[in-house]
Amino acid sequence: MGSFEAYEYLEGDASDREKQKQQFLSGENLNPTLDYPEIDKERLSADEAALLQLKRDVISGEPNEVIRQLYRWKINVKIAEVRMLRAAKDGDMIRFRGYSEFIYGKPSLEIFAYTIQNIRSSIKPHLSSEDPDIKKAAEELADLLPSDLPKVSIQELPSDNDIATARAQTLLELGDLINIEPPEEGKQYAAEEIRDIFQEALNALGAEGWSVVVDTGSRTAVGIDQEHKVIKVPESRRLAFAKLQKLVAHEVGTHVTRRVNGERSRLQLLGLGFDRYEKGEEGVAATREQALDGKVEDFSGLLGHLAIGLAKGLDGQPRDFRGVYEIMEKYFYLEKLVSGKNSADALAAAQRNAWKRCVRTFRGTNCATRGVCLEKDIIYREGNIGVWAVIRENPEELLRFRIGKYDPANPRHIWILNQLGISDNDLEELSQ
C-alpha cells in the first residue's frame, strides 16, 4: 500500500478514450467523459481500513516522537490518495479537488506568472513574422494567454558554477550506471535495446526484485511502476544516445536508486518516501538530466504547470477541459509552425499534443467542473526550481540527495533527517 501511486489507476480504456477524442475534436461533445476502469472500490475500502489501523498502531506503539509523526504524515497522504480515487469513481469533484490539493499542493501563482512571462517573451518575435500563418498564430495565442498577472522577478536560472557542481556530483554517483558505450553516429536505440541497457543499470545498482519490460500498451514514455518494481519501455519508443543516457540517470539513477538506498538506510521509510516527497524526487531527477546537458535554458515542467494553472484559474478564470485545450492547442500550433511544419500538419500535431496534455491534467475528474484537475504535474516545475535553489544556497545537501526519497527543498524534511542523524555517511557504512 505504501508504494502504490494513485495516478496510475486513472488510466482508461484505449478504444473508449479514442472515441471520446474524436467526439471532442468534432465538437460533438463540449468535454470528454473519461473512464476509470482500474479503480476497484472494494480494494479501496480494504486499503483505507488497513491504513487507518496502521496509523493507530503507530500512534500507540512507536516510542520515537519524530518517527511517529513522520509515519502519521505519510499514512495521511496515502489515505488521501485512496479517498481521491474513490471520489474519482463516484464523480465527486468537490472531494476530489480537496484530496488532490492535499496530496500535491496548489500551484504557485508566482511560478505560473513567471511561465506566462516566458511564453509571452518567446512569442514576441513571431508577432512581426513575415510568415502570415506564424504571425496570426502568435497573435491568437497572445490574445488567449492570461493577462494582468502580478509582476514577478524572473526566477534565477542556475549559474555555470551551479551546473558544474551538480554535473560533477552526478557523474561521481552515477558513473557506472550511465556508462553506456556510444553507438555509431545517428543511431536510434529500439525498445528492446533500451530495455537491455536499463537492465544493465539495474544490475550495476544491485536492485534486487526490479525488472524492465517492453510495454505493448498505449504508453508513449518510459516510466516506473513503483508498486510492482517495473520499468516500462513503450514498444514504439526510439531514443538517441544522449537522451538515453539522461533517461537512465533519471529513472534508474534517481527514482530506483533513491528507493533502494532508502530501503537500505536506518530509516526505511526513505525507500517509499516522506510525505509529499515528489517535488524533490522529480526536481533531483530533472536537475541531473540538466547537469549532464551542461546547460539550463529554462526549468523543466513548463507545460504541466501551465495547464494546471489555467485549469485552476490562477488568473481568476477557472477552466474546464475545453477551456484549457483551446489555449494549449494554440500553443502547440505555433510551436509546430515555427519548427517548419505546414499548416495542416501543424494543426494535426497540435490537436494530438493538446489532447494528451489535457487528458493528463484532468484525469480523475469529470472534465466539466471548472477549477478541478489533478495537481500532480506541478511537482516537475516547482521541484526543479526548488532543487536548483538548494544547490545554489546549500550545495553540501547535494551529497545527501541519494540517501532516499525526500524533498531537499522542504525544510521539514531536512529537519527530520538532521534530527535522526541521517546523512550520506549512512550509505558509505552500508557499502563497507
Q: Which residues touch 65 (CB under 8 Å, ≥6 apart)?
A: none
Note the pLDDT tens digit of each residue in 308-333: 999 999 999 999 999 999 999 999 99
Residue 130 pLDDT level (bands cut at 50, 70, 90): very high
CA distances 356 to 283, 299, 325, 360, 393, Å, are 23, 21, 10, 6, 37
Every domain of the chain and the residues it spans:
160-270+403-431
Note the pLDDT tens digit of each residue in 230-261: 999 999 999 998 899 999 999 999 999 999 99
Question: Quick one: pLDDT at residue 427?
Answer: 59
Pairing of strands 223-225, 230-234: antiparallel
Note the pLDDT tens digit of each residue in 132-145: 999 999 999 999 99
How far is residue 84's CA from residue 96's CA, in Å, rounded to a whole number?
Answer: 5
Question: Quick one: pLDDT at residue 428?
Answer: 53
Residue 423 pLDDT level (bands cut at 50, 70, 90): confident
Half-sphere exposure of 37 (CA within 13 A, CB side): 6
Yes or no: say if 244 and 215 are a contact pair by the CB < 8 Å rule.
no
CA distances 178 to 3, 91, 108, 189, 251, Å, are 26, 44, 34, 15, 11
Average pLDDT, integer, range 256-273 = 93
pTM: 0.93
Element housing 234 (H / E): strand 230-234
Pull the grid cell for residue 241: 544516445
Kindly report the average pLDDT of the chain as a whole number.
93
Note the pLDDT tens digit of each residue in 70-114: 999 999 999 999 999 999 999 999 999 999 999 999 999 999 999
In the predicted model, is pLDDT for residue 429 greater than 60? no
How far is residue 402's CA from residue 257's CA, in Å, rounded to a whole number?
Answer: 7
In the predicted model, is pLDDT for residue 430 greater than 70? no
Yes or no: say if 364 and 88 are a contact pair by the CB < 8 Å rule.
yes
CA distances 30 to 11, 319, 368, 376, Å, are 21, 13, 8, 24
CA distances 16 to 4, 22, 34, 93, 163, Å, are 25, 10, 8, 22, 45
Pull the grid cell for residue 424: 550520506
For residue 211, the cross-strand partners are 230
Pull the grid cell for residue 88: 474519482
Based on C-alpha coordinates, what's the Rg of the chain?
22
Q: Where are the alpha helices (DSSP H) in 64-190?
A: 65-90, 93-104, 109-123, 132-144, 160-174
Question: Quick one: pLDDT at residue 61?
Answer: 96
Average pLDDT, integer, range 347-362 = 97
Pairing of strands 230-234, 211-215: parallel
% the chain with pLDDT above 90: 84
**Helices and strands (DSSP H and E) totals, the chain:** 18, 3
Q: Which residues touch 86 (CB under 8 Å, ≥6 apart)?
A: 39, 41, 44
More confident residue, 409 or 220: 409
